[in-house]
Structure 1
């Protein structure tokens, strides 16, 4: 019948609007409590804002809980657009200027706990992601609204009747306004948006981006015609094969070749794992393959040159040392993924990865920085699995069977009907994966996390090492520790010795600051009497000797205060071989037209070959030409 759940509830509860039912009433009451505004169920903009928030927060929260994070592309951008539309409504029509939507997530989680428990289970994570998105948009929203209001006023005055494509793209590119938000605001002001013009601007930007990385590719030259390349690299790193075809490519003025073999042991970049490198030997001539990628079911081998003879047999040999280090890092990624889920929670899901011979990089959904204790826990779990020397079992089966046995799949990833499943202890890690892996976890040797950072709202990144790379990491850190011990003259307790030195440095810094303050006070006492009257201003301009730009600024402020509201102070100094200038002006001087910031930019900065800025009362500049400092004071004085 087309009657959705909300309409059915409206009929059953005898309401005139979906938003009057208990499906939305709890959320609307929460919005009233947060904003101190009252919902009237009318058609005014305030009531519309209530309904927009109540509706949009459901879509946003459920989608994030289901694994889709806001982003600038694809489905993630749909979520971002919905969220930013909601932010604009509460900012403009509920007069609420701080994050609001994240405060509604707990209301939804409690309401739908029994029918959608995933939201309740990931409450903290979803709330954090929503808040970070709100914070990010609110930082540009005020400036964006000011800009669009200026555009609206201009277009109305000109009678054009629409926001042109270039302006719409500026709002998108500079202020983060999705095109549908710009369209909505334009409609509220009886204007249209030149959307074809917007799309043209977007296309031009994409074209510029493509041009920056453009590759000139020649046609394929067929040697032996084959439809697809067969990959034999799971079981061997060397095979005898033939060249199927090749082509010449040119990028940034450099020529290279792409070669397709009938069969190859070279793994092509995919699933985060980098492509193999190695050699091809044909008729006694050996060339280096520096990368392997996949394109339309073809394994493409990248080389700087091709052999003179291509028709004979080819010995394709993978760089086994590099392949092994890549492989141990890929298996370590699976171990770490499972460990992260055990330590942080089941909301952890892979959002991206890079696996090469030097390290692994893993992006995952999580709402907070990992503590040192959490990192230690993850490392301990992974290293325990390594010591257990667990067999790595690889199976091929139907996708449905794999999911039924608990295999993890990437959200949004497309899989064939038959999938490859990597099992490292059925009770620990089961993942769909097409990469190369070790025979047992003992081959990883040792695992260590090097870095943990944020890469986007609700997404963290871990960089880690294992195998030979982990050994090198430990060696470097042990050497660093030894160097620190030597520098500290071999203390028994290194940490205590460092803390003691830090305390001593802090104490010396305080003493130095005290001495500097006394020195500045003495300089100020000496300079204040030297002030003269210039065009009704208490003017003082001189070059001084100070240790830092901060000291120069503090001295200028102190002298200005001593000279009163009509003071204008210009201090110059050569600090570490560079020119430094500060201008300070009192309230009355500013009221008469003195603008320290303008003087710095238009008079001082060009003289000392530098830059600077500030406010009307206080501004500073830095430059490379100390020889011109003597002219600065007179140049400023002439402008007063």
Structure 2
């Protein structure tokens, strides 16, 4: 059965059971601070399990893209070495929010696997929760008794809390679960060892295929459990593993999910799969990782140096280094696999097809960048090898190469082994652990349970219409971290504070009680559909009403910038073309940042055109046309733009200013005239095919022009208030260029003149012509003199020094015959002598330079140079 048919049969089966089919949510989570990525099928539905929102349908089914490369669920280093772990995988799931429970979930799972998919019942084992004394939980006899209707008791196993009790996190909804395992070994192997002995033992052919979670408890901060008001079903089945079973193969990588990608890798690299284990691992790593990276980019997450972007960059770089090391690929090639991936999965996941060109461009640029890093790392590693005394490279040096330059440790170990050197792995791991401990300590957070003041109070956001209102505190909790100290999170029955989202920052403001006591709201965020207000202190009178007041000035400035991003988006599509799509934004009170797809730098004329376009609409005084809670299809049919990577509900809010219509939950000005003026302050590249504009509006523009005017007046004063300051500056530049050329010529003449003097000062030491001296020349002059002397004198060792503007420079020249015969190295010399001038440097064995901030150390450096030839 083809993978497309497997996916379709699963979804249609549950559709027949009155489940709504929903599309896969973007993998990058935006309203959940506990997760970077969707790592399980239930993550997009947390708000329903927590009771913070009501689903439109209590029965849902989907196939959800999941990524497990960070945090508790981290399979990254196992990927490629076995046949069933992946970074990105599809999780087929069916969900019940307070509707059906164990009886139906188990019955339907058995029906689908055995009747619809036709899996032999003798291949299956199931497990149930054995209970846990610590939590006061008995064995899940209810699930056990239901399973007995379908499978013999000797195939029903019990599992402990680790295997058969599923938890969302340290706190939150949880419950016992039943796992379904499949044994795909041959009859001969089954005769030797019973399948039940291999369940949950990491056997590649006895694997978990489906997990049925019975969500019925809530884990509190103190570790205790309480029953949820409603019982839920949360199931997740590994799509790739299911395909392995149904296609009768022994590895996920032998299914048609991966074989087209593997064949393309073989074609590109001229390597053959299943001939060399190291090559096989590399091919599996690349086949897996390209999926994770491609879908992340399609969902709006670009590789970067922080957060989720860093994780994506790390996955891609792991793929690149496996290709570099084991497939001999020294040029970009992974981006070429996106086309195959699109043909295989683009129909099921249209975001990949829509973003294909962007995905290819970003991956190619990232590959090129990392390959340059690898080249630089090889140079640095060679230098470390040269400086190593003995047969072991220090773990600290290897860690510096890994941490500072991103050079992979396994590649370091491989190269050292080829040079008959060892790596101090214990030292490296010690340094790595220190870094992890520092990172962990900085991010350590403890969160208390919510203290409930008012039960079942629905929270309502009224911030589109009001900036202050009387509110009641419904619940609060304390959060402590080493980074931010103690903070309080407050929830009200209604709020005018806009929570951070859609690129817009959260509102600030204050709470005032009837006694005049004030508590400041420092930020507002949304977590699993709940608006949370952050304060440093807890209000004194918790059970009395407060006046909640948004900082009006900051909100207005933010609204100006948010509306400007919509107008900017329209301008870019009108001027550059409809290929332009928003790829990210940040809307603050002081500025706006807008990322968009485009493949070349904007010209000055294009920037001016964009500014003029936006300002024309500001001057046009276009009123806001807002539509709330309208069906998404109706809004899109009316021309509203939706953004890839955003999760929209069935009803949406559309924002229109003239011809600009977008789906948006942010706050906006009532009329474009409120923005006053728009000014672009920078434009540049973020990644391949992604540009970034930073701009300002309103008061920030006034400040910008005021400061520029002040600088202009100051500049005119320095130019003696000439009538044409630009022309005067051009004349100064031309004069400066001319003088520089004259100085360079004079210095060259000076260098030639002193060559004869320096030649007479050479001293012979052990057959080496030696000279160490401070000269009144610039860096270029030192090099010219050294190379001219080197062309006339054999066996030459020179160390020249100079001082300029409080800084020191050393230049070392060593004849190539000395480098070969005596093992002298100019790069090593300047690195060692550089410590006297409080600096460092490097270069080639025959010529190298070092700079430093301590000219007083020049004399000692020159004196020490003699030791190299004595």
Question: How high is the TM-score relative to the length of structure 1?
Answer: 0.75
Cα distance in structure 2, aligned partners of 1:609 and 1:624: 6
CA contact (8 A) 2:298 2:645 kept: no
Aligned to 1:16: none
Structure 1 alignment gaps of length 5 or more: 6-18, 110-115, 149-166, 183-200
CA contact (8 A) 2:502 2:665 kept: yes
Deviation at 1:326, TM superposition (A): 0.7
1:238-253 matches, cutoff 5 A: 238-250=468-480, 251-252=482-483
Q: Are residues 542 and 500 of structure 1, via their aligned partners in 2, closer, same or farther at CA, if it must alter by over 3 Å?
A: same
Deviation at 1:613, TM superposition (A): 2.8
Residue by residue over 1:543-589, the C-alpha shift from the partner in whole angstroms, topping out at 9 and shown as x without a partner, is 3333x344334433333334x23111122334334443322111222
Residue by residue over 1:255-308, the C-alpha shift from the partner in whole angstroms, topping out at 9 and shown as x without a partner, is 443332222111111111111112211122223222222223332222233443
Q: Are residues 540 and 461 of structure 1, via their aligned partners in 2, closer, same or farther at CA, if it must alter by over 3 Å?
A: same
Is structure 2 residue 617 aligned with structure 1 residue 388? no
Mean Cα displacement is larger for which, 605-614 or 588-597? 605-614
The one of 805, 809, 815 aligned to 1:576: 805
Deviation at 1:64, TM superposition (A): 9.8
More helix per residue: 1
Aligned to 1:339: 571
Deviation at 1:611, TM superposition (A): 2.7
The one of 757, 760, 781 aligned to 1:551: 781
Q: Are residues 265 and 207 of structure 1, via their aligned partners in 2, closer, same or farther at CA, if it must alter by over 3 Å?
A: farther
CA contact (8 A) 1:390 1:441 kept: yes
Aligned to 1:325: 557
Secondary structure at 1:633 match in 2: helix
Is structure 2 residue 555 aligned with structure 1 residue 301? no
Secondary structure at 2:522 match in 1: strand
Question: How high is the TM-score relative to the length of structure 2?
Answer: 0.57
CA RMSD of aligned residues (A): 5.0
CA contact (8 A) 2:507 2:523 kept: yes
Cα distance in structure 2, aligned partners of 1:443 and 1:397: 26
Q: Are residues 268 and 81 of structure 1, via their aligned partners in 2, closer, same or farther at CA, if it must alter by over 3 Å?
A: closer
Aligned to 2:610: 378
Cα distance in structure 1, aligned partners of 2:619 and 2:4: 55
Aligned to 2:224: none
Deviation at 1:68, TM superposition (A): 5.7
Is structure 2 residue 822 aligned with structure 1 residue 592? yes
1:345-384 matches, cutoff 5 A: 345-384=577-616
Residue by residue over 1:451-493, the C-alpha shift from the partner in whole angstroms, topping out at 9 and shown as x without a partner, is 1122233322111111222222222223333333333234444
Aligned to 1:155: none
Cα distance in structure 1, aligned partners of 2:839 and 2:379: 32
Residue by residue over 1:214-262, the C-alpha shift from the partner in whole angstroms, topping out at 9 and shown as x without a partner, is 3444444444445542211110111112222333444447444333222
1:27-106 matches, cutoff 5 A: 71=303, 97-99=330-332
Residue by residue over 1:150-207, the C-alpha shift from the partner in whole angstroms, topping out at 9 and shown as x without a partner, is xxxxxxxxxxxxxxxxx99x9999768899x99xxxxxxxxxxxxxxxxxx9999877
Cα distance in structure 2, aligned partners of 1:146 and 1:620: 17
Is structure 2 residue 834 aligned with structure 1 residue 601? no
Aligned to 1:635: 864
Cα distance in structure 1, aligned partners of 2:341 and 2:450: 57
Structure 2 alignment gaps of length 5 or more: 6-255, 343-348, 382-397, 413-430
Is structure 2 residue 740 aligned with structure 1 residue 504? no
Mean Cα displacement is larger for which, 133-142 or 366-375? 133-142
Aligned to 1:132: 365
CA contact (8 A) 1:144 1:177 kept: no
Cα distance in structure 1, aligned partners of 2:548 and 2:728: 57
Aligned to 2:80: none
The one of 506, 509, 524 aligned to 2:755: 524
1:87-236 matches, cutoff 5 A: 97-99=330-332, 128-140=361-373, 209-236=439-466
Equivalent pairs, count: 581
Mean Cα displacement is larger for which, 482-491 or 69-78? 69-78
The one of 696, 703, 725 aligned to 1:465: 696
Deviation at 1:137, TM superposition (A): 3.5
Secondary structure at 1:605 match in 2: helix
Q: Are residues 319 and 513 of structure 1, via their aligned partners in 2, closer, same or farther at CA, if it must alter by over 3 Å?
A: same
CA contact (8 A) 2:301 2:308 kept: no
